[in-house]
Structure 1
Amino acid sequence: MTSSIVQKLMSLVTVISEARTPLTFSELVEQTGLNKSTLHRLLSIAADEQLVQHVKGSKVYLLGPKVFDLVRNAYSGYDIQAVALDEMMRLHAQFDGNVTLGVPNGTDVVYLRLIEAKGSLGGIQRPGMREPVHCSASGKALMAYLPPAVCDAMLSDHVFERFTERTITDADTFRAALREVRAQGFAANDREEYDHFLGISAPIFNYMGDPIAVLNIWTVHTRHSIDDIMGWSEALIASAQEVTRMIGGKSPD
């Protein structure tokens, strides 16, 4: 069946958006498989709607301002708590732990929402509570995916306060922990802030691949070991990836 003009237009915009460098008309013909007359017509429509822009000097095509307006409006309009709730509920039903949603705030993590475990775990974090990044799974999950220069700047004057014997207290050890997070796709906290709390966190990304939130499951060591909760990581990562997908985000390369 012949593709509709909408399908062809979306295919064209997708090719332009995914190109690592701006494309010329000839390169667009090659990559889209469209004939020249059809491509001319689609580019004209896309330019009129500000979905595509032509740079006359270098004779290449870029995404137009309308695309970025749509993305910006979408991101300003969604409520991450509402979007993540179904996945939080799924994790809560599957595992015997508290499920939280956190967002970065400087070198702290602020928790927006919490679903308590079926049995009380005691000393439960509440919405609005904060944790330093260096002693929380959530903080590590967020910091691990920042550009190195941004991470270094944030850590330059960070105070690595010791809370327990397991707390990371220097930047080099913390950076090593961040490399481990990137390797496995989630972060763990084994009683680094409190002597009885442990948990795992996985990041949620925006359309730029930046970490903007975390899903976290935590419990107490009298009920679960760190090996127990590490076994929950696959489901946690899947939930974080689903929330990322729902907000139009993407995992970084």
Structure 2
Amino acid sequence: MTDSVRAFERGLRVIRSFTADTSLQTLADVARATDLNRATARRFLLTLEELGYVRRVGDLFTLTPRVLDLGYAYVSSFGVPQLAQPYLEQLSEQLHEAASVGVLDGAEVVYVARVPAKRVMTVSIGLGTRFPAYRTSLGRALLAWLPDDEVERLWDVSDKQQPTSRTVADLDSLRQRLRAVRRLGYALVDQELEIGVRSVAAPVRDATGRPVAAINLSTHVSRTTKQDLQQRFAPALLRTAGQIEHALSSRPS
């Protein structure tokens, strides 16, 4: 790795050291989180401050909203989140539940567009939220179309904590669920991410037929049965995925 590439990687590491739990950090905190010495961490923080991505509050550092520009650059260049947003809004309005778009990033699924439900949900999800892909309907709607060896590789590097007693606990069980996704065309996850939460997801494919994203609906067991998800939600979701695919293929090149 060249010096310039290494410097870029370290700068990104500094930005990623700020999380919901560490939104305010001292220089020592950043150095420790990034495994950099204090002098190097200080140089990166001062550079990011000069560029407007970090600001100082006394002895503490925090990110500024300008960091969102990095994420918006991806959203704009990828195109799917912006294009899908009106379809998500329509789907959410039709079924009165939260609707989202997610993409795979390694072994995780990342939320890149979302229309929240007007009802209260226990799971807090926003743009940029990440979960292990295998636990989620969005993730499974994408994992299902990968080669077996790639699924195994992603399983090996996944966070295998079991948030509920229903969460998939081994690779064979995951493969069984992915076979069901391929058979049905959609993924249904029942309380594997959090007790009380059910969701259903379908892939969104590009003009070559390759899944590039997935859309889902999430709901609570107190108001939606598995039968509801299969009979009402899944057909609406598949129609919406088809509409987004058509819009994608119709974009000017």
Shorter-chain TM-score tier: 0.5 to 0.7
1:155 aligns with 2:160: no
Q: CA deviation at 1:188?
A: 0.7
**Cα deviation, residue 78, structure 1:** 5.3
Superposition deviation, residue 211 in structure 1: 1.6
In the alignment, residue 99 of structure 1 is paired with which amino acid?
A: A
Correspondence for 2:45: none
Q: 2:119, 2:197 → 1: CA distance?
A: 15
Q: Note the C-alpha offset of 1:159.
A: 4.3
Q: CA deviation at 1:230?
A: 2.1
Matches within 5 A, 1:3-18: none
Partner of 1:243: 244
Query: Conserved in 2, the CA contact under 8 Å of 1:204 and 1:212?
Result: yes
Identity percentage over the alignment? 27
The one-letter amino acid paired with 1:118 is K
Equivalences for residues 28-47 of structure 1 within 5 A: none
Aligned partners of 1:198 and 1:220 also within 8 Å: yes
Aligned to 2:4: none
Q: 1:62 is matched with which residue?
A: none
Alignment partner, residue 212 of structure 1: 212
Q: What is the distance in 2 between the residues matched to 1:159 and 1:77?
A: 29
> Per-residue deviation at 1:135?
1.0
Alignment of 1:40-189 (within 5 A): 77=77, 79-189=79-189
From the superposition, tell whether residues 82 and 193 of structure 1 become closer, same or farther in structure 2 (CA, over 3 Å): same
Q: CA deviation at 1:118?
A: 2.4
Give the aligned length: 175
Three-state SS of the structure 1 residue aligned to 2:249 is coil
Contact preservation (8 Å) 1:99, 1:217? yes
Specify the alignment match of 2:221 in structure 1.
221
Q: 1:149, 1:244 → 2: CA distance?
A: 27
Question: In 2, distance between residues paired with 1:77 and 1:111?
Answer: 16
Counterpart residue identity of residue 193, structure 1? L
Give the deviation of 1:157 after TM superposition: 3.8
Q: Judge conservation of contact 1:146–1:210 (CA < 8 Å) in 2.
A: no
Asked if 2 retains the 8 angstrom alpha-carbon contact of 1:146 and 1:211, the reply is no
Letter in 2 for 1:200: V
> What amino acid is aligned across from residue 158 of structure 1 in structure 2?
S
Query: SS where residue 247 of structure 1 aligns?
Result: helix
Q: 1:163 to 1:89 in 2, by over 3 A?
A: same
Structure 1 residue 103: deviation in Å? 0.9
SS of structure 1 residue aligned to 2:140:
helix
Counterpart for residue 201 of structure 2: 201
Unaligned runs of 5+ in 2: 1-75
**CA separation of 1:178/1:123 partners in 2, compared to 1, >3 Å: closer, same or farther?**
closer
Q: Give structure 1 regions of 4+ aligned residues with deviation exceeding 4 angstroms.
A: none
> What SS does structure 1 have at the residue aligned with 2:120?
coil
Larger gyration radius, structure 1 or structure 2? 1
Q: Given residue 215 of structure 1, which amino acid in structure 2 is its aligned partner?
A: I
Amino acid at match of 1:189: V
2:141 counterpart SS class: helix
SS class of match (2:204): strand
Residues 7-57 of structure 1, C-alpha deviation per residue, up to 9 Å, x if partnerless?
A: xxxxxxxxxxxxxxxxxxxxxxxxxxxxxxxxxxxxxxxxxxxxxxxxxxx
Q: 1:159 to 1:127 in 2, by over 3 A?
A: closer
Give the TM-score normalised by structure 1: 0.64
Distance 2:165 2:242 in 1: 33
Where structure 1 has 5 or more consecutive residues not aligned to the other structure, the ranges are 1-75
Q: Distance in 2 between matches of 1:78 and 1:164?
A: 34
Structure 1 residue 226, shift from structure 2 partner: 2.0
Residues 151-185 of structure 1 deviation map (CA, whole Å, 9 limit, x = unaligned): 23323443432110100010011001000000000
Q: Matched residues in 2 for 1:115 and 1:172: separation?
A: 33
Given that 1:134 and 1:160 are in contact with CA atoms closer than 8 Å, whether structure 2 keeps it comes out as no
Task: Please tell me whether the aligned partners of residues 132 and 158 of structure 2 are also in contact (alpha carbons under 8 angstroms).
Answer: no
Q: Give me the TM-score of the superposition, normalised by structure 2.
A: 0.64
